[in-house]
Amino acid sequence: MPNLLPEPPHRHGTRASTAVVLVNLGTPEAPTAPALRRYLKQFLSDPRVVEIPKPIWWLILNGIILNIRPKKSAAKYASVWMPEGSPLRVHTERQTKLLAGHLGERGHHTTVTMAMRYGAPSVPDVLAKLKAEGATRILIVPMYPQYSSSTTATVIDEAAAWLLKLRNQPEMRFIRNFHDDPAYIAALEKSVRKHWQASGPLGAKDKFVISFHGLPRRSLDLGDPYFCECQKTGRLLAERLGLSAEQYRVCFQSRFGKAEWLQPYTAPTLVKLGQEGTERIDIICPGFTADCLETLEEIAMEGKEDFIHAGGKAYHYIPALNEDEAWIKALTDLVERHLSGWPSKLADDPHALEATARNAIRLGAHS
């Protein structure tokens, strides 16, 4: 017999409900070495994130990385930590509240919450809470515009692992990607044009850089579509901005280890552009829907230092979409499309209408 989790008590007459879960990568609980060690151990132990034979990787991870990297990473996190907490968590929580408000304004009676793939609140904990509250339909939204085995697929893995432990499973859907969604691209365009209104347009000696998180080159060779989806996002954004091929670059950041990763690499690209006489760089990271360590520290801080040191004069990081109004509307449209066919509105659910009528009668009797 499978080791199934106990089911919450059944309550007759409870209306089946719909829930939406935004899932982002994750974050340590605090910018400290112990918190980073716990977070990195969970993150880097995922076989989809690091595709190295487990015995070999266990020795490298526990013998070297977790003894060296947490302290260095903690200092970097401390440089971007917000009063409310980690930037990634803060922005994801804000996006969740805004999405809930927009869906509510459109008449959807859904629970909207968030989870982190690594760290807290965990995907299993959030899903268990929703189930206990009566959710029988759950839409999971990995907040990665471009699909990858090491990001989107790990969210699906975690949700599926939770489902395997249930006797009474809810219906579940996943959003695979939205790298070429017109409203998402339009929100990116709007954020860039807003920046240009404040800082002026690009000149003849300036460049627009579109940086995505990197992956090992091997992932592309094995059939991961991430590289191609990043290229398409970059091309669509450049087209909407009216940029020629000479005016922009698509590159990949956050390389780790000695193996070849997706190229061109962002840091060497910034140095090369500075050495070649590029005067100004405007850089954006469309793969991140919320600002985090990789955007605020690696790109906004380290990237600027690399470019200026190489001879550049001006460097502008364009923030992630975060709580941008156009992006929240695009996210709402995306979620609403994927809720199609589920009775998330009162008008779509006869049981909900019946319950609402009963409540109205009950309240009237006590007035």
DSSP β-bridge partners for residue 108? 345
Q: Are 146 and 287 in contact (CB under 8 A)?
A: yes
Both 134 and 229 in one domain: the answer is no
**Structure tokens, 62:** 């526990």
Q: How far apart are CA 152 and CA 38, in angstroms?
A: 22
Q: How does strand 110-118 pair with strand 171-174? A: unpaired
Residue 299's nearest CA partner among 274, 288, 29 is: 288
Whether 117 shows a pLDDT value over 60: the answer reads yes
Look at the chain and report how many structural domains it folds into. 2
- Cα–Cα distance for residue pair 65/36, rounded to 1 Å: 11
7, part of any domain: no
Are both 278 and 246 inside the same structural domain?
Answer: yes
The pLDDT value recorded for residue 222 is 96
As a whole number of Å, the end-to-end CA separation of the chain is: 53
Given a cut of 50, is residue 306 above it in pLDDT? yes
- At residue 117, φ and ψ (nearest 5 deg) are -65, -40
Instruction: With CA atoms as reference, report the closest residue to 17 among 358, 252, 346, 365.
Output: 346
Residue 87 in any domain: the answer is: yes
Closest CA to 342 of 105, 7, 111, 8: 111
Asked if 179 contacts 230 with a C-beta cutoff of 8 angstroms, the reply is yes
Considering the domain architecture, whether residues 149 and 124 belong to the same structural domain is answered as: yes
Q: Flag whether 123 is in a domain.
A: yes
Last residue of a domain, one of 318, 336, 362: 318
218 in any annotated domain: yes
Residue 193 belongs to some domain of the structure: yes
Q: What is the arithmetic mean of pLDDT over 23-33?
A: 97
Q: Which two tokens stand for residue 26?
A: 């994750």
In a domain, 360, yes or no: no
Asked whether 27 and 114 are in contact (CB, 8 A), the reply is no
Per-residue pLDDT at 258: 83
| Per-residue model confidence as pLDDT tens digits over 143-196 | 999 999 999 999 999 999 999 999 999 999 999 999 999 999 999 999 999 999
Asked if residue 287 and residue 221 are part of one domain, the reply reads yes
Residue 94 sits in the same domain as residue 166: yes
By the 8 A CB rule, do 8 and 131 touch? yes
**293 & 231 share domain:** yes
Q: What CATH number does the domain containing 292 carry?
A: 3.40.50.1400
CA gap 139, 21 in Å, rounded: 6
Residue 69 lies inside a defined structural domain of this protein: no
Let me know: does 248 contact 236? Beta carbons within 8 Å.
no
Instruction: Decide: residue 361, CB within 10 A, 0-12 exposed, 13-18 middle, 19+ buried.
Output: exposed
Q: For residue range 243-279, what is the model confidence (pLDDT) as tens digits?
A: 999 999 999 999 888 889 999 999 999 999 999 999 9
- Cβ(108)–Cβ(159) under 8 Å? no
Q: Are residues 106 and 140 in the same domain?
A: yes
Residue 192 falls in which region: left (phi positive, over 0), alpha (psi -120 to 50) or beta? alpha
| C-alpha torsion sign, points 242, 247, 253, 257 | positive
Q: Is residue 363 part of a domain?
A: no
- Cβ–Cβ < 8 Å for 311, 167: no
Do 304 and 194 lie in one domain? The reply is yes
What is residue 14's predicted lDDT score, i.e. its pLDDT? 63
Which band of pLDDT confidence, cut at 50, 70 and 90, is reported for residue 340?
A: very high
In this structure, the answer to whether residues 191 and 308 fall within a common structural domain is yes
Q: Which two tokens stand for residue 72?
A: 């260095």
- Whether residue 337 sits in one domain with residue 231: no
Residues 150 and 220 in one domain: no
Same domain for 134 and 225, yes or no, is no
- Position 297: which residue type? E
Residue type, 118: Y
**Residue 252 belongs to what domain range?**
182-318
Omega into 8 within 30° of 0, i.e. cis?
no
43: pLDDT strictly greater than 50: yes
pTM for this entry: 0.91
Q: CA 266, 267, 273, 279 torsion: positive or negative?
A: positive
In degrees and rounded to multiples of 5, residue 297 shows phi and psi of -100, -55
What gap in Å lies between CA 130 and CA 121, rounded to an integer? 13
